[in-house]
């Protein structure tokens, strides 16, 4: 290409010299006329240009093939490394949250390093690659500020550990079991088998209720009895049902107290303790069993009612 441009420039200069006696400058038409007048020389230069281009392609084929080979071997090596890393992390005592997050970060670093090596083999200078990565990083950082806050939130979740994979949490108005914590978001599986994705930036700044981080949990229950029934009798029935349940922890005192004088009856609160994994079993079992015990012992379970007193006109 350079030889062809040089020839065109020389032809233009020749036309200019031939027309030096004229007052006008050489035009493109003069240059084309000079090329047409010397077809052999023109085709010779074009032939040399295409020959050099073909030779350049032939000389670059080994480099291209070597870069492809390095790319394939690098992908295989990266996948094997990630598998070995995953196995090693599983055998370690690290939490599942940390192992998944670490695997994702290592994967990004390895693939970035592989692309850099391949581009360097193809002749792209390392300084240029670093400059492009730096420039792209700044541009992406400005365009994706909210996403970067989520990335920072992911690192903070790894450090502070307000929850981990497997915990049942309530955050940002949704609740569910944490199935994964990625670089950008935290995934929850709800009890209706729906997947909810919470950005890490919101998860780290919002109030999070972790229902499973402790080994034990208190079960708060409420029951109602009629004002005509005896509270100590109802209290004894509830305590008996809780003492008979195998999942209720007997070492911790279970409170059964009168909580409120309701509009239709007396409200009783019961607060037994159980293991966190047994929470819902204890909750539903005690609700059902206390109801059956009340019916068996003729304890009335009140419903909303309204007493109306009529005053006669005098």
Mean pLDDT value of segment 22-40: 56
Mean pLDDT value of segment 77-103: 76
Distance CA 172, CA 213 (A): 18
199-257 per-position pLDDT tens digit: 888 888 888 999 988 999 999 999 999 998 999 999 999 999 999 999 999 988 888 99
- Is 90 exceeded by the pLDDT of residue 164? no
pLDDT of residue 210: 92
Query: Angle at which helices 96-121 and 126-143 pack, to 10 degrees?
Result: 130
Mean pLDDT value of segment 252-271: 90
Output the DSSP codes for 87-120: HHHHHSSS-HHHHHHHHHHHHHHHHHHHHHHHHH
Distance CA 271, CA 283 (A): 10
Which has more confidence, 119 or 9?
Answer: 119
Q: Are 203 and 151 in contact (CB under 8 A)?
A: no
Q: Are 87 and 79 in contact (CB under 8 A)?
A: no
Tokens read off for 153: 């939130």
Mean pLDDT value of segment 192-203: 90
pLDDT of residue 21: 46
92-148 per-position pLDDT tens digit: 766 666 677 777 778 888 888 888 888 888 777 767 767 776 776 666 655 555 666
What's the whole-number average pLDDT of the chain? 79
DSSP β-bridge partners for residue 266: 225, 261
Residues of the chain above pLDDT 70, percent = 73
Q: For residue 154, how many C-alpha atoms fall within 13 Å in the half-sphere facing its CB?
A: 22
Output the DSSP codes for 184-225: SEEEEE-TTS-EEEEEHHHHHHS-EEESSSSSEEE--EEEEE
Tokens read off for 281: 């079993």
Residue 197 pLDDT grade (very low, low, confident, very high; cuts 50, 70, 90): very high
Which has more confidence, 272 or 41?
Answer: 272
Which has more confidence, 95 or 157?
Answer: 157
- Is 60 exceeded by the pLDDT of residue 162? yes
Residue with tokens 């309530």: 170
pTM (predicted TM-score): 0.54
């Amino acid at each position: 290409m350079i030889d062809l441009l040089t020839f065109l420039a020389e032809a233009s200069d020749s036309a200019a010299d031939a027309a030096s006696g004229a007052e006008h400058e050489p035009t493109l038409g003069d240059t084309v006329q000079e090329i047409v007048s010397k077809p052999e020389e023109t085709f010779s230069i074009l032939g040399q240009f295409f020959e050099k281009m073909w030779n350049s392609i032939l000389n670059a084929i080994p480099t291209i093939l070597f870069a492809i080979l390095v790319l394939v071997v690098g992908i295989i090596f990266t996948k094997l490394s990630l598998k070995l890393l995953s196995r090693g992390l599983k055998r370690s005592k690290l939490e599942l949250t940390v192992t998944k997050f670490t695997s994702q970060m290592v994967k990004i670093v390895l693939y970035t390093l592989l692309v850099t090596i391949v581009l360097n083999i193809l002749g792209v200078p390392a300084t240029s690659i670093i400059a492009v990565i730096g420039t792209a990083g700044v541009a992406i950082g400005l365009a994706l500020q909210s996403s970067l806050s989520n990335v920072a939130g992911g690192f903070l979740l790894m450090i502070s550990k307000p929850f981990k994979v497997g915990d049942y949490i309530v955050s940002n108005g949704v609740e569910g079991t944490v199935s994964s914590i990625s670089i950008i978001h935290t995934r929850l599986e709800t009890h209706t088998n729906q997947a909810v994705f919470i950005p890490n930036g919101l998860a780290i700044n919002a109030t999070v209720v972790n229902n499973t981080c402790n080994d034990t949990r208190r079960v708060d229950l409420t029951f109602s009895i009629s004002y005509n029934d005896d509270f100590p009798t109802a209290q004894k029935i509830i305590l008996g049902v809780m003492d008979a349940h195998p999942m209720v922890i007997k070492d911790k005192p279970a409170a059964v107290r009168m909580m409120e004088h309701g509009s239709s009856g007396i409200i009783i609160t019961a607060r037994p303790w159980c293991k966190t994994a047994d929470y819902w079993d204890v909750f539903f079992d005690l609700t059902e069993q206390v109801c059956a015990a009340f019916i068996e012992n003729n304890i009335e379970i009140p419903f909303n009612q309204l007493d109306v007193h009529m005053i006669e006109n005098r």
